[in-house]
Amino acid sequence: MKAAILEKINEPLTIAEVEIGEPSFGQVLVKILVSGICGSQLQEIGGYKGNGAYVPHLLGHEGAGIVQKIGPGVTKVKEGDKVVMHWRKGDGIESDFPVYTFKGKPMRSGKVTTFSEYSIVSENRVTPVPQDTPNELCALLGCSLSTALGTVNLEADLKLGESLMVVGVGGLGINLIKAGRLVGAYPIIAVDIYENKRELAQQMGAQFFVDASKGKIGEVIEKNLGMKDVDVIVDTTGNPVSLKETIQLLSGTGRFIMVGQPKPGETVELTNANHFFGGSGKTLKATQGGRFTPSIEIPRYVRLYRGGVLNIDGIVSHRVKLDQINEAVDLVRKGQAGRIMIEME
Ligand SMILES: [Zn+2]
């Protein structure tokens, strides 16, 4: 089968044939329909996740697929089931790492990977959904959309009418804006350094856009919205310069959630740190996937979609084939994409 392999850190992915075996105990063989590209894979390509020691390996952690075969012990899904492939652990067996063969040698890989035509996945990394669930919704529920909804709803516990600032209008940022709309955040302020993200942010539901390349974010929102601070700020950039500026904008009861990760060794500065004691207990938190629990939240979000409450219109900005994955990764790296979907067929 064809796969995109991370062979060398900081180099384009290799598109090549990989041999896939049979699913062993607790594993599921899945034919992949579509996969999203997540910022996390950029970090892996850059070797920021301590993964340099494990190359070559496969990548990708949000996908839609069809179960082809189940290994011993698997009871959660059966052949023919449509599944969301996710990196957070759900119900079911936590299997051993799948092993593929690449260039005649064994290649161990993560418990879920999606940048290939087929994948062997741990039972607890798939969640079955109704057959007519759109492929792109399934992929988005594997990471970005579920992370966004979890971040706003579970992690920040955003209340009706609280203000929300989303820093970075990329593949995750646009999902966060949608999530903010769903839970009644107001106003939703989107921040990016590219003016061409203004329209996208507003289409997703942001009421205000700040071009952070043109001035101080705090001054812009005070001048235009009369706001001195924000209740919930979610940073998707992990950029220390941006973090230093936005952390200061947190309200007295505010929650600051870091979703984007700074590079290893980077320092994030807390200017005038005593302002953290000025309110009733401000929160600065790094989230792990918005703390979403796949077995509980994925079926709930699918019902929301089917009921017409949740829509994913406009989230996917590009659709590419597996052969074009390196160009797509570049677009994500340059901050010039919403969510990109790789279509395997
Ligand atoms: Zn992700």
CA of 279 from ligand 1 middle (Å) equals 33
CA of 168 from ligand 1 middle (Å) equals 15
The reply to whether 331 and 274 lie within a common domain is no
Three-state secondary structure call for residue 235: strand
The reply to whether 163 and 108 lie within a common domain is no
* CATH number of the domain within which 216 lies: 3.40.50.720
State the total domains in the chain. 2
DSSP-derived letter for residue 153 is I
Residue 307 domain flag: no
The reply to whether 157 and 282 lie within a common domain is yes
The reply to whether 149 and 286 lie within a common domain is yes
CA of 151 from ligand 1 middle (Å) equals 13
Alpha helices in 63-164 (DSSP H): 135-142, 144-150
The reply to whether 284 and 339 lie within a common domain is no
CA of 67 from ligand 1 middle (Å) equals 21
- Strand segments (E) across the chain: 2-6, 14-17, 27-36, 57-58, 63-70, 82-85, 99-102, 105-108, 118-122, 126-129, 164-167, 188-192, 208-211, 230-235, 250-258, 283-286, 316-321, 339-343
Residues near ion ligand 1 (CB < 5 Å) are 38, 40, 143
What whole-number distance in Å separates Cα of residue 1 and Cα of residue 155? 39
The reply to whether 105 and 215 lie within a common domain is no
CA of 289 from ligand 1 middle (Å) equals 8
Residue 305 domain flag: no
CA of 304 from ligand 1 middle (Å) equals 21
CA of 226 from ligand 1 middle (Å) equals 35
CA of 288 from ligand 1 middle (Å) equals 10
CA of 280 from ligand 1 middle (Å) equals 32
What whole-number distance in Å separates Cα of residue 158 and Cα of residue 143? 20
CA of 95 from ligand 1 middle (Å) equals 21
CA of 61 from ligand 1 middle (Å) equals 6
Single-letter amino acid, residue 212? A
CA of 37 from ligand 1 middle (Å) equals 8
Residue 309 domain flag: no
Tokens representing 342?
Answer: 């790789």
CA of 62 from ligand 1 middle (Å) equals 7
Written as tens digits, the pLDDT of the chain (345 aa) is 999 999 999 999 999 999 999 999 999 999 999 999 999 999 999 998 888 888 999 999 999 999 999 999 999 999 999 999 999 999 999 999 999 999 999 999 999 999 999 999 999 999 999 999 999 999 999 999 999 999 999 999 999 999 999 999 998 999 999 999 999 999 999 999 999 999 999 999 999 999 999 999 999 999 999 999 999 999 999 999 999 999 999 999 999 999 998 988 999 999 888 888 888 889 999 999 999 999 999 999 999 999 999 999 999 999 999 999 999 999 999 988 889 999 998
- Type and span of the H or E element at 197: none
The reply to whether 90 and 211 lie within a common domain is no
Range of the domain at 54: 2-134+315-343
CA distances to 34, 84, 122, 140 from 44, rounded to whole Å, are 20, 22, 20, 19
